[in-house]
């Protein structure tokens, strides 16, 4: 019987990598069980994240290399949403935040988001929404901090944003603006000229 390499001109490891499949899984299906390659590639891989049996969806690494920044971000996203033992799970999966099925495949995640720019992290525009192409972008840590679901939002005029953003616009610290909001009515706190001496 001809080997996979003789038939395809590729090694089994290369075929596994190209199809986003674990080499050992493909080896077991083709070499150990002597199954046809086409069938071995067509059967979904049921995978789990380390340390849990809760995840039974198909996560495909594809050509995204483990250890790269993109891979770590992709893996972290999945762990936050599906791994109950993950420290940040209560703020993500515990709140019902999910990852769209397209992004269970790391290749497609990379195709949609591209490589993360230096210093940028994965951010959801709607912090109560799922991880999906139309709700995610690369953002700085400062932008991400401002978009947290537990941030205090202030509405003044026709604009709503977190205290940090208002404080930056007004040229003062967040602590100074919080102090104003505690002791003065909203309009006074937002419009009274600040003292140059201490920023409040």
Alpha helices by DSSP H, 154-199 = 163-170, 174-183, 186-191
Per the document, the length of the chain is: 200
What percent of the chain has a predicted confidence (pLDDT) above 90?
7
- Tokens read off for 66: 């483990």
Neighbouring residues of 75: CB distance < 8 A, sequence distance ≥ 6: 49
What's the pLDDT score for residue 57? 43
**Helices and strands in the chain, H and E counts:** 10, 4
Neighbouring residues of 170: CB distance < 8 A, sequence distance ≥ 6: 177, 190, 194
pLDDT above 50 (res 99): yes
Q: Which residue has the higher pLDDT, 104 or 148?
A: 104
| Cβ neighbour number for residue 87 with a 10 Å cutoff | 9
Confidence bin at 20 (pLDDT 50/70/90): low
Encode pLDDT of 150-196 as tens digits. Answer: 456 778 887 777 777 777 777 888 788 888 888 888 888 888 887 75
pLDDT above 80 (res 22): no
Its pTM stands at: 0.50
Mean pLDDT of 125-142: 86
Lowest mean pLDDT among 90-99, 107-116, 159-168: 159-168
**Residues 89 and 54: beta-carbon distance below 8 Å:** no
Q: Which of 47, 45, 63 is nearest to 55 (CA)?
A: 47
Q: Are strands 136-139 and 121-124 parallel, antiparallel or unpaired?
A: antiparallel
**Residues 122 and 116: beta-carbon distance below 8 Å:** yes
How far CA 71 is from CA of 11, 41, 43, in Å, comes to: 24, 23, 24
């Amino acid at each position: 019987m001809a080997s996979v390499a003789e038939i395809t001109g590729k090694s089994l490891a290369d075929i596994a990598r190209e199809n986003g499949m674990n080499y050992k899984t493909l080896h077991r299906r083709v070499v150990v069980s002597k199954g046809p390659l086409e069938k071995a590639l067509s059967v979904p891989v049921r995978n789990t994240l380390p340390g849990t049996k809760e995840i039974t969806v198909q996560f495909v690494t594809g050509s995204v290399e483990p250890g790269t920044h993109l891979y770590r971000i992709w893996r972290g996203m999945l762990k936050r949403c599906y791994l109950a033992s993950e420290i940040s799970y209560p703020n993500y999966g515990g709140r019902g935040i999910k990852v769209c099925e397209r992004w269970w495949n790391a290749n497609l995640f990379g195709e949609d988001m591209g490589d993360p720019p230096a210093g940028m992290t994965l951010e959801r525009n709607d912090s109560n929404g799922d991880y999906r192409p139309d709700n995610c972008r690369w953002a700085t840590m400062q932008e991400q901090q401002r978009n947290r679901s537990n941030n205090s939002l202030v509405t003044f005029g026709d604009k709503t944003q977190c205290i940090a953003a208002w404080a930056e616009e007004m040229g003062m610290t967040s602590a100074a603006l919080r102090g104003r909001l505690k002791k003065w009515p909203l309009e006074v706190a937002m419009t009274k000229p600040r003292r140059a001496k201490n920023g409040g």
